[in-house]
Amino acid sequence: MPFPNPCCGQVLFAVAVPTVVDRVFQQAITQVLSPIYEEQFSKNSFGFRPKRGAHDALKQCQQNVNDGYVYVVDMDLEKFFDTVCQSKLIEVLSRTIKDGRVISLIHKYLNAGVISGGIFEKTETGMPQGGPLSPLLSNVMLNELDRELTRRGHRFVRYADDCMIFCKSRRSAERTLRNIIPFIEGKLFLKVNRKKTSVAHISKVKYLGYAFYRYKGECRFRVHPKSVTKMKDKIRELTKRSNGWGNEYRAMKLTQFVRGWVNYFSLADMKGLLRETDEWLRHKIRTIYWKQWKKVKTKFRELKKLGVEEEKAWICANMRNGNWYCGGYFVLQTAFNNKKLRELGYPTFTELYLKVCEN
């Protein structure tokens, strides 16, 4: 089934959702093979591996930068899962897996095909996403790149197909890029996206949603502006009137999202950003209630319930400005203060961030 890639606008990628039986077989194969391949995988690979994650990858990036490797080759493999050479993958697997039955099962999984627009399509190239076996197979394939980079003495960090090679100078990084492309395309039969692959100073790079900067000689993290934009877009989606959600359910969904977002970006220095975001979120929440009340009588009644003086409530209820403007009016700010919003179940980025930092 084709899905839009959230990183690439309208570009589609195939997701093969396995049947229950297929999923059981894939999971069984994965459980047997994972411990075997874990011994072979590079210490610089962090995606889809036990006890490793994005934060570990970022900390390794930080260590490389602190050691003076401030220029990076930001490698982009074009449609990696769609373009994996199946025969090459089987060849790599066969070096470790000597049981032909397992190899045959994996080959059948790779050739299972996908249904696009109700039409069955063969998958003679590429690797279907969506099953428990896909992450392991992707690491098996890209471990070949890891081994080559290690053999050449490069410092690198790879999370799934997102790879950065660290160098001490721009010239060295450019030379590294020129020299590694023939291996990727000629030996692994993968395609390097020339438009998105770049050589840049670490301060110009976005990696796993983070940006990097130097402070007092040390590498530190920020939330990349594109990640902030995505976060606000998600909040707009969660606060749309067309959702038809009640206020309690909306508060719960917002809390789930904000907690997950803060946990993921907890490595970043973002107190100032979160204060601004909290102000913006409170404004949106006040505007939601203002829209819900609609009629003057309803606004007047609800404002009085929130403890607003009768005269101020009446003046506010009769305002004819736009909803967003009214959401920022001081009467509504007083009625929906931080304490009240907390009672209603709404989250604040800052409070959740401070809790994460304490732990």
CB atoms within 10 A of CB 8: 11
The winner for highest mean pLDDT among 107-121, 239-253, 260-274 is 260-274
For 74-108, how does the pLDDT look when each residue is reduced to its tens digit (9 = 90+)?
Answer: 999 999 999 999 999 999 999 999 999 999 999 98
User: Both tokens of residue 242?
Assistant: 């067309």
124 vs 323, more confident: 323
* Per-residue pLDDT at 359: 56
Query: Is residue 344 scored above 90 in pLDDT?
Result: yes
Q: Which amino acid is at 22?
A: D
Q: What CATH number has the domain spanning 2-222?
A: 3.30.70.270
SS3 242: helix
Query: Is residue 4 scored above 50 in pLDDT?
Result: no
For 10-66, how does the pLDDT look when each residue is reduced to its tens digit (9 = 90+)?
Answer: 444 455 566 777 888 899 999 999 999 999 999 999 999 999 999 999 999 999 999
User: Which pLDDT band holds residue 271 (cuts at 50, 70, 90)?
Assistant: very high
* Per-residue pLDDT at 15: 52
For 162-220, how does the pLDDT look when each residue is reduced to its tens digit (9 = 90+)?
Answer: 999 999 999 999 999 999 999 999 999 999 999 999 999 999 999 999 999 999 999 99
Query: Is residue 9 scored above 50 in pLDDT?
Result: no
Alpha helices in the chain (DSSP H): 20-38, 54-66, 80-83, 86-96, 100-110, 134-151, 170-186, 225-238, 247-264, 271-293, 296-305, 310-317, 323-327, 330-335, 338-343, 349-358
- Short-list 140, 114, 118, 107, CA closest to 128: 114
User: Both tokens of residue 302?
Assistant: 């609800």
Residues pairing with 163 in the sheet: 75, 158
* Per-residue pLDDT at 202: 97
Give the separation between CA 275 and CA 80, rounded to whole angstroms.
Answer: 38
For 288-328, how does the pLDDT look when each residue is reduced to its tens digit (9 = 90+)?
Answer: 999 999 999 999 999 999 999 999 999 999 998 999 999 99
* Per-residue pLDDT at 10: 43
Give the separation between CA 88 and CA 187, rounded to whole angstroms.
Answer: 9
Domain residues of the chain, as ranges?
2-222, 224-358
For 126-160, how does the pLDDT look when each residue is reduced to its tens digit (9 = 90+)?
Answer: 888 888 999 999 999 999 999 999 999 999 999 99
Q: CB neighbours of 74 closer than 8 A, spacing ≥ 6?
A: 164, 197, 198, 199, 200, 205, 207
Residues pairing with 33 in the sheet: none
For 205-252, how does the pLDDT look when each residue is reduced to its tens digit (9 = 90+)?
Answer: 999 999 999 999 999 999 999 999 999 999 999 999 888 899 999 999
Give the separation between CA 133 and CA 89, rounded to whole angstroms.
Answer: 13
Tracing tokens 């962090």 back to the chain, one arrives at 46
Helix H or strand E encompassing 71: strand 71-76
